[in-house]
Structure 1
């Protein structure tokens, strides 16, 4: 029987995390599993708790949203420790990409009996962050600015906070001139954003890279070119299904490493956390983390069959 250590979100979402864990914890214990809970003081402290639990051979449960999952998943990348997720955040986009069940009984069953599967992680480095490892995506542009506003949205939660943040960001945005280097080849880009996606979702369920897979050893790189604001809002609405990728304003690249620079100070974010500006480099770490989740190749809502990356 597996032994679990649940690390709970240290921020305002801590109460939500504890509530989400409660029902799952009861089911795990009723099944005979051992579960201990650790409340962290900060994301760095959460990483310390996760590494210590992994060193003891325990399955680590990240309880929270994408920031918590990315922080703990990054800390465990390359260690061999098994990670489980108990989604309790605003977006839960990485959990969505993994098709994690939302019902406590189904989630508990997966945590108890699921097979650990390898997923890719993303190494991120910049002048501010020497080396950070995340799970979902790195994004630089109006979406990072929107996420900053969403994080300061006060009483707004979930998609509402992202919508309000996005509206504020888009109405003040002017096109940036990017230099995007993918696996050594430079691409000039003028527009709204550059997204390097390991997971297909960001921004609370938006399918920014609908063909992205967490286990293919590649980043799906989405470039959204400059466009009239009315068209941009239409394009943003299409993110719910992934239909935006058919627009001529959207370009998709794939690669193992990307460097993003711009002509002015542009914020970038990773897994819901935004506290730095370009330039930034992101590199895929194939199969670096073991995670409890369902069939990675089952078709997701709004997802087209992904082409063979070879």
Structure 2
């Protein structure tokens, strides 16, 4: 029987995270599994707890949203340790990419009995991040600014916070000039964003890269060019289904590594965390993480 260590998001530890874990924890223990719970003091502390648990052969459960999943999954990347997710955040986009069930009973069955699968991760390097590893995507532009606004929202959760954050971000955004280097080949781009996607989803269920696969050894690079604001909002609505990829303002490339630069200090985010500005380099790490799902 598996042994688990659940690491709970410090911002969700007293509410959503604990609530999401409660039902799953009961089912795991009823099935005979051992479960320890750790409330992290920060994402760095969460990474440390995860590494120590993984070294002991325990399955590490990331309890929280994409920031928590990315931090813990990144810490376990390349170690051979096994990650499980208990979604309890605003977006839960990597859990969505894995196809994890929302029902506690079904999720417990996955955690107890599913065979670990190998998925890709993303190594991120910049002036701020000497080296960090995340799971879902790296995005630079108006979406990163929208994510920053969403993270600061106190009264809204889920897609509502991202929608309001998007409205605020687009209102004052002016197109940036990007220089992208994909596997050594340079591309110029002027527009709203550049996204390097491992997972197809970001921003609380928006299907930014419909053909992205978390186990194909490639990043899907989605470029959204400059457009009138009215058209841009229509394009954003298309993200619900992935229909935006058929618009002429959208271009999709694929690469193992991408460096993103811009003509000004454009913010970038990774797995829901936004704390830096371009330039940034993202490189896929094929099959680097073992995950239940």
Shorter-chain TM-score: which interval?
A: over 0.9
8 Å CA contact 1:14–1:64 kept in 2: the answer is: no
Structure 1 segments of 4+ aligned residues over 4 angstroms from their partners: none
8 Å CA contact 1:179–1:189 kept in 2: the answer is: yes
Which residue in the other structure is 2:54 paired with? Answer: 54
Find out whether 1:291 has 2:291 as its counterpart: yes
Greater shift in the superposed pair: 115-124 or 145-154 = 145-154
Which residue in the other structure is 1:156 paired with? Answer: 156
Deviations 1:238-265 (A, max 9, x none): 0000000000000000000000000011
Name stretches of at least 5 consecutive residues in structure 2 with no aligned partner. none
Partner Cα distance (2:133, 2:276) in 1: 15
Partner Cα distance (1:41, 1:15) in 2: 15
Which residue in the other structure is 2:8 paired with? Answer: 8
Partner Cα distance (1:39, 1:144) in 2: 27
Name stretches of at least 5 consecutive residues in structure 1 with no aligned partner. 294-310
Which residue in the other structure is 1:72 paired with? Answer: 72
Partner Cα distance (1:35, 1:65) in 2: 20
Partner Cα distance (1:149, 1:13) in 2: 22
8 Å CA contact 2:87–2:95 kept in 1: the answer is: yes
1:197-216 correspondence to structure 2 within 5 Å: 197-216=197-216
Deviation at 1:14, TM superposition (A): 4.3
Which residue in the other structure is 1:174 paired with? Answer: 174
Which residue in the other structure is 1:137 paired with? Answer: 137
Pick closer, same or farther for the CA change 1:13–1:162 going to 2, 3 Å. farther
What is the aligned length? 293
Deviation at 1:71, TM superposition (A): 0.2
1:107-122 correspondence to structure 2 within 5 Å: 107-122=107-122
Deviation at 1:47, TM superposition (A): 0.4
The TM-score, its normalising length taken from structure 1, stands at: 0.94
Deviation at 1:11, TM superposition (A): 1.5
Q: RMSD over aligned Cα, in angstroms?
A: 0.6
8 Å CA contact 1:13–1:89 kept in 2: the answer is: no
Which residue in the other structure is 2:253 paired with? Answer: 253
8 Å CA contact 2:259–2:281 kept in 1: the answer is: yes
